[in-house]
């Protein structure tokens, strides 16, 4: 048997680059598909978290509904929820960096200053007297700041109530603000707390997508 000699004319680095170039289109196709699938699952998780939150439930039929005087909370919450749960996946195509393939992506939903949801009509309540009550802004950003001086909310059936079960009455040296258990600031509010509660689930979905 004669000996066969193979001479490799190209360096290891060049061969590696050629292999990576061949794999790159497949990697981009796979990652784009994986992250788009993640988008659907993450939207479901965020939706569930928001609906289960104490704030949502209270707005729907509890203390917040009556304190804020929301006569149609379901309609308002549905409009807000569509924005909150509309996740955008921004995928940056994978590229070859040295001897590896690297790609990145980002997930985003609402704007960091909440201007998108605060701009919709459902975030503002117009009273019979034409007053504009920015109830969602109060809930998300005002913390425990005084919103109305010398007034307090009295819970209970009342024919003058927008919701039928609470009315604001004048009371000297009193103050009305968002109830402390629901109060929120820019970085710690109903929305951030809801999303934070499912961070582990979101991370798990992303990791599973990459490992499949």
Average pLDDT in the 20-46 region? 85
Domain boundaries, the chain: 12-211
Number of residues that this document lists for the chain: 212
Instruction: Tell me which DSSP letter residue 72 carries.
Output: -
Task: Decide if pLDDT at 7 tops 60.
Answer: no
Average pLDDT in the 147-165 region? 90
Residue bearing the bigger pLDDT, 159 or 210: 159
Looking at the chain, the whole-number percentage of residues with pLDDT higher than 70 is 94
CB 145 within 8 A of CB 110: no
DSSP sequence for 129-178: T--EE-HHHHHHH-TT--SEEEEEEEES--TT-SSSSEEEEEEEEEEE--
Task: Decide if pLDDT at 5 tops 80.
Answer: no
Cα end-to-end span (Å), the chain? 46
Task: Decide if pLDDT at 160 tops 90.
Answer: no
What is the model's pTM? 0.81
Looking at the chain, the whole-number percentage of residues with pLDDT higher than 90 is 50
Task: Decide if pLDDT at 180 tops 90.
Answer: yes
Question: CA-to-CA distance for 78 and 88, rounded, in angstroms?
Answer: 19
């Amino acid at each position: 048997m004669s000996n066969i000699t193979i001479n490799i004319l190209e360096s290891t680095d060049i061969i590696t680059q050629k292999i990576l170039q061949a794999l790159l289109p497949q990697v981009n196709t796979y990652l784009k598909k994986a992250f788009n699938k993640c988008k659907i699952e993450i939207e479901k998780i965020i939706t569930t978290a928001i609906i289960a939150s104490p704030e949502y439930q209270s707005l729907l039929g509890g203390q917040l509904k009556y304190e804020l005087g929301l006569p149609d909370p379901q309609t308002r919450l549905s409009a807000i929820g569509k924005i909150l749960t509309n996740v955008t996946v921004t995928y940056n195509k994978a590229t070859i960096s040295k001897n590896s393939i690297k790609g990145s992506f980002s997930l985003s939903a609402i704007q960091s200053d909440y201007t998108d949801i605060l701009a919709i009509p459902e975030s503002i309540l117009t009273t019979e007297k034409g007053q504009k009550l920015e109830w969602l802004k109060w809930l998300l950003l005002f913390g425990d700041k005084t919103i109305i001086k010398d007034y307090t909310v009295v819970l209970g059936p009342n024919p003058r109530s927008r919701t039928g079960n609470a009315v604001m009455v004048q009371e000297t040296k009193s103050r009305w603000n968002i109830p402390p258990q629901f109060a929120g600031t820019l970085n710690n509010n109903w929305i951030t707390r809801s999303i934070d509660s499912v961070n582990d689930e979101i991370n798990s979905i992303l990791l599973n997508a990459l490992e499949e």
